[in-house]
Structure 1
C-alpha cells in the first residue's frame, strides 16, 4: 500500500507467477473445399477454423488474424516457398481460445493450379501460424455423378397414399455436394408414366424434392429418409429418383422402380384385454383400448374426415352391418373416441375411452369398430360379451358439520357430503330421483327403525352422482316442536323405490 505523495507502507505480500508463452495455433475443416479446379476457375466455399491456442484472434485492428488460402506446387505452408497464389479472408468476429468460426472463401485458381490448395492462418504484419491444412487438387472439369439404392422403395401404392422409406445415394463424381446454400444438391423423386429421368420429364406426374442431411464428398454415401405421396387419382408404373443441383442442372443418372396400384385397405386389430366385462345400466367406466392399423392407409387423427374409435353397447354383435340390417336398432348407443395421433400402416395407438352403458338392461354386447368419419365404417370389429353385475345402491354421508345442540322448533343450516359407494348412477331428477333424507329419531337405525322417527325431511342432489363420486348439500333442517329426540340421522333414498341400507347418525341434545 502507498500513501500518495508521502510514503509506502512497510508491509507487503508477494505471490509467485508463471508466464505462459503465447500459443497461436489453429485447426481447419476443409470438407466443403472443392478438389477439382480448372485454369483460372473461381469457386466459393466455406472453411471452418478452430482456435486451438491460448490467444484471442482479433478480426480487426492493426494486426488482425486472417485465413490465407494459396494454391501451391507442394504442401508445407509458408515455409515451403512453393505458393502460386495467396488470398486472405477476414474473420467474421473475434475468436477466443477454443472458439470456432465459419468463413466464406472465394478462391481464384491460377493458370496452372498446381498440386495443392492450402489453408493457413496469419497474424498480419507479424507471422504465419505454424500449422496448415492441405487439400490435394484434381485438375480437369468437375463431374457431378450419382448412384442410388432404391431397394427399400415400396412397389405398391394407392392413389394419394404417403409412404416413408430410405434411399442410399453415393457421390460418384469429383465434387462435394452441398446440402445447403442457394444451390444445394437434392434428391428429386417423381412418379412417371415411363422411365427416363429429366430428359423424359414430360411423363412426370409429380416431382418431390428431398434435402441431403449433410454435405457429401466424392466417394461418400448417405442414407436419406424420404416421405413420398402418390398422385391423387391413379398410380403410374414408375417411381424414379434423380439428383438435382438446384437452379443449375439435373444429374445424368437416375434410378427407376416399377410400381403398381393397390386398392386402399382400411382395416384394424383391437386389444380388448383391459375392457371391463361386468356392467350395470348407466355405469361409466374408463379403460384403454390398443388399436393396430392392419391396412395400407394412414389413419388421420384430425382433419375433415378423421378415423375414430367407435364403441357401442348392442343387443348382438356384428358391427355396422348388423346395425344397418336391423334398421339401426341393434346399437343402444354409439360413442366415438379420437386417436391421439395419426397411425401409419403397421403402427398401433392406445386410446383411452370413457364409456357409459345404456340406462336399461337391454344390452349384452360391448363392441369396438373403427370409423372414417363422413365416409365409412371399417369391416372388422371386436365384440365382448357383457356379464351383468348386481345393482349396488350404497352410500356414505358426513354429518359432522351438523349442530349437536338443538332447541325445539329451531331451524339450523349446515352441510352434508354424500359419496356414491355403489355401482349405480344416482339420478338427481326424473321419476325416481335419489334424495338425502334427514330425520330426528329416538334411536338410530335408519329406515328399519322408521317407527322411532320424529321427522323426515328430504333434500335434492345438486347433480347426478356417478359411482365413486360425491356431492355436497347445504341443508336447512328444523327440529321437532316438542322435545328434541336423541339422534339426528342422514340416509339416502331413491324415491318411490327404496332406502339405501346405510345411514350416519349424530347424537343431539336440547
Structure 2
C-alpha cells in the first residue's frame, strides 16, 4: 500500500512540474488562456502519469483472497443411487462412494449424514460413522439409510461430512440433489380375495388377498407414514360397526406396479347378523385410501368345543416350582378357537388339595398362540406352578374364553393331572470354596464355591421361587456388615446328589479389617438354607487398603519395524499383598505405552496381555507380552506396565515399569 501511494504522488509531481505555460489571468490573477500547445502538453503529462501507475501496479502482489488455493478438507461423491422421486416418509438405503478430494486425511471418527432442505427449512437425518480413516485420493463405500420428509414438495438432499476437526466441503454435482417428495397415490388394485366360508362373532379369521401398487411412487412399509392393510365393518343398514380394524403391515416397500400377497387377521363383530366387510389401505397418521373391495358376510354365533389330553406330566414336584406339563388341544367345535383380542381362548387350571378343597381357581393362563380351526390339534406347554405347601394335589385344566365363560360350561370335558408336591430339603454341602484370603477395600473378587445338593428335591433355577447362591459379609464380632452382598443364578436345575462349581462376584467392604465372608444357598421368598440347618461356607478374609507393586524383568528389543505387532517374553512378579484377579470388573493385565525420544506420550492404552491365572502375592510368572510399533520410523521409548482395569496403572502408584529405548525402522 505504501508503494502504491508513492507511485501516485510521483505521477502527480511530474504533472505539476511539467505545467509551465503562462497566459491571461482572471480577476484572481489565475491564468485562463488555453492555447493548443498547452492542451497537447496536458495530454502528454496524463499519459506519463498513467504509465507510472501501471508500472507501479505491476510491482504489487496480488491480494491474498485472489491467490489460487485448493481445498484441504473436501469430499466428492463419485457414485450414488439417491432417488430423484420418493414417497413421503419412505425409507431408502442409499449406496454412495465418497472420495477424499482434499489434502488432509479424514479421521476414523468421521460422520456422514444428510439433510433435507425445503421451503419449510432444513431437517437433518441420521448419522453414519466412517468405517476407518480415509487418506487423500482414496475412496470409501457407505450405505446410508435415508428417510424422506412426511410433507410433500420439492427438496434438496444435501450430504455432509465432519470429524473432530470440523466440517468438510462438499464438491461435485451429486453433493446436492433435487428430489421430489410425493404422497403415495391412493390407488390400489385388489385381486385373489380368499375368505373363510364362515365368520363367527368375536372370532378372528384369516382373509388372504393380493394387492398391487397402482400409483406412481413406492409404498413405504416402515417408518413414519407406513402403509398397511386393514378393514371396516358395516351392518346391513350401512351404519359403521367397526372402523379401525386390525393392521396387517407390508412385508417390504411396494414399488409402483408391484404386487404382494398378504393374509389379513380380521376380527368379526361381537354381535351376530349380516355385515359388509370393507377392505382398505391405510397410511398411518395420514388417512385411508378408500375404494377397497366390499364383501357381504353373515356373522354367526360360534360353536365352541375343545378336548385336552396330557402328553407329559411329572409325578413329583418341589413346592413353588414350575410344573413341566405338555398338553394336546383339539378343536372339537365348528368355529375356529378365538386366539386374539380381549376375548381370546386360553388354557387355565384350578388346584384342589387332598381334602377336595379348592386352593386356586384362576390359575395362570397358557396362550394358544395360533389359529386352531375345527378338527385341528395343537401342542401346548402349560404354564403351571406347584402349590406352596407339600401334599397331593389335583390340577384341573380347561379352556376359558376371557370375559365370557369356561368351556366346561359349554359341554367340553376338563383334564385332571395329579402331582405330589414335596418340600425343599434345604440341604447343601459346600465341599470347597476358592477365594482370596486378602482383599483390597472396595474391589471386586471372584469366589468359586463347589456345592452338592444332598437333599431329596431338585433346586429350581427359575420359576416363582428359584434357588440361588448368595453371600454375606460379617465383621470380626460376627455382626452383619452387608447381608445381601452378592447372588448368582443357578445355571440349571440341580437334582439330588448333583454338584456344581459356580463363580460369584463379591465386593470387599470399604473399610480395612478382619471379616468373614459367608456363602450360602437361598430360595427366593422362602429363606436361606443356613436357617434350615445347612452349614454355609465361612471364609476369614483380611481386607486392607489396596497396594500395587510389581517387578517386571526381561529384555525389550532395540529395533522393531514400523506398524509391526511384536511379542517379547517377560518375567512378572506380584510384589503386593493381594492376588491379581483375571476376571470380574477389575482384572489385571500387562500393557504398554509409547513415548517419543523427548519423553512426550504418544500411545497410552496399548495392547492388553492376559495373565495365565490369578497371580498370588510373591508368585512369579513368565509370559509373552504383546505390543504394536508406531507407524512412523524414529527413536522411541517403550514402557511395559501392569494395569488393574478401571483402577490404576501400577507405575502411577509407585511401582517400577520396564522401559527401553527402541528404534522403529521403516
**Superposition TM-score, scaled by structure 1 size:** 0.44
Higher relative contact order (CA 8 A, sep 6+): 1
